Amino acid sequence: MNQPYLSVVIPVFNEEKNLDPLFARACATLDRLGKSWELIFVDDGSSDRSREILASLHQERPDHIRVVLLNRNYGQHMAIIAGFERVRGEVIVTLDADLQNPPEEIPKLVDSYGQGHDSIGGVRQNRQDSAFRRYASALINRLREMMTDIKMEDQGCMLRAYSRPVVQAIVSSNELHTFIPALAYRFASNPGEVSVAHSGRGAGTSKYSLLKLLRLNFDLITGFTLVPLHIFTCVGFLSCMMSLGLVGVLLFRRFIYPGASEVEGVFTLFAILFFLVSVVIAGVGLIGEYVGRIYQVVQQRPRYIVEKVLEKLS
């Protein structure tokens, strides 16, 4: 199949128990769609039986199933980009392999593409995640809303569809740390959203540790806005003016109105100093986050290494 209408890209990291039911449900839905399709699984360096299972799924339906095996773990978003680099379809859908995104919802996204949208986000109804994850998402959603011009209701839902030009723009962005839904929004001319169902994880546990989650959200903020840096500049100027005022007051009390017990104020001054020093440390760290990302892009190393591709060339 040279030019299917639809390409579905699914990143896989240690999902051995979910792959068979996912395959069955996705194929049933896609066969019913009445359009030509391909499904690209990208294995993100799994260490369980996922790779063998994917190879057998490819053998079962070689005309439809393609498998990209990365040589190690590069993270969900990079795995999706490795799939994006190989898609042949006109419309591209992504979803998670853990059955949290029901494959039965794919036609809704494809319909929305048919109505002229070029980047379509799923909005999870009844999100089945821990309270911590839901609150953290709500917070990041608010921050993103305040700091960037990206408007979307549910940035974390990876059940999404994109037009081919949007996917091509994402691939050619050559970014190392990226957040695909936000990047797609930047390139889309007519973004849209549709409600989709959400389920609990099929089997296994989340592949996102707290640190990985934190890093991903830093990627979202640092990749799409300089507002955090502007805030630090403003805080810097403000504290500069306030400390100038403080110097004025102290000079006044020392030379013009002497005799007050300045010693009492020493601890207050220490407190202010500690606060300002910690602001400076946080600021340096923040600049480091930006500079580190710039450094890695400047190095121009390959973003990932594909070990093997299983596909039937026609």
Interface positions with ligand UDP (CB under 6 A):
11-13, 15, 44, 73, 75-76, 79, 96-98, 100, 206-208
Residue 118 or 180 with smaller CB distance to ligand UDP: 180
Residue 22 or 82 with smaller CB distance to Mg ion: 22
Partner whose footprint covers residue 168, from Mg ion, ligand UDP, none (CB < 5 to 8 Å by kind): none
Buried b (16+ CB within 10 A) or exposed e, 107-118: bbbbebbeeebb
Task: Work out how close the CB of 14 gets to Mg ion at its nearest, in angstroms, rounded to a whole number.
Answer: 12
175 binds Mg ion (CB under 5 A): no
The CA-based dihedral angle spanning residues 27, 28, 33, 34, taken in that order and rounded to the nearest 10 degrees: 90
Helix, strand, or coil (residue 123): strand
Binding residue (CB under 5 A) for Mg ion from 43, 44, 98, 105: 98
Write out the two tokens for 180.
């695909």
Buried b (16+ CB within 10 A) or exposed e, 58-79: beeeeebbbbbbbeebbbbbbb
Residue 61 or 127 with smaller CB distance to Mg ion: 127
Residue 117 or 161 with smaller CB distance to ligand UDP: 161
Task: Work out how close the CB of 136 gets to Mg ion at its nearest, in angstroms, rounded to a whole number.
Answer: 14
Residue 100 or 222 with smaller CB distance to Mg ion: 100
- Contacts (Cβ under 8 Å, ≥6 apart) of 110: 6, 33, 35, 91, 93, 161
Query: What mask of x and - would describe binding to Mg ion in positions 101 to 140, judged by CB under 5 A?
Result: ----------------------------------------
- What does DSSP assign to residue 253? I
Partner whose footprint covers residue 73, from ligand UDP, Mg ion, none (CB < 5 to 8 Å by kind): ligand UDP
Partner whose footprint covers residue 208, from Mg ion, ligand UDP, none (CB < 5 to 8 Å by kind): ligand UDP
User: For the chain, how long is the longest CA-to-CA vector?
Assistant: 93
Q: Give the Cα separation of 27 and 80 in Å (integer).
A: 19
Q: Give the Cα separation of 28 and 232 in Å (integer).
A: 53
Question: Which residues of this chain interact with Mg ion, rule CB under 5 A?
Answer: 96, 98, 100
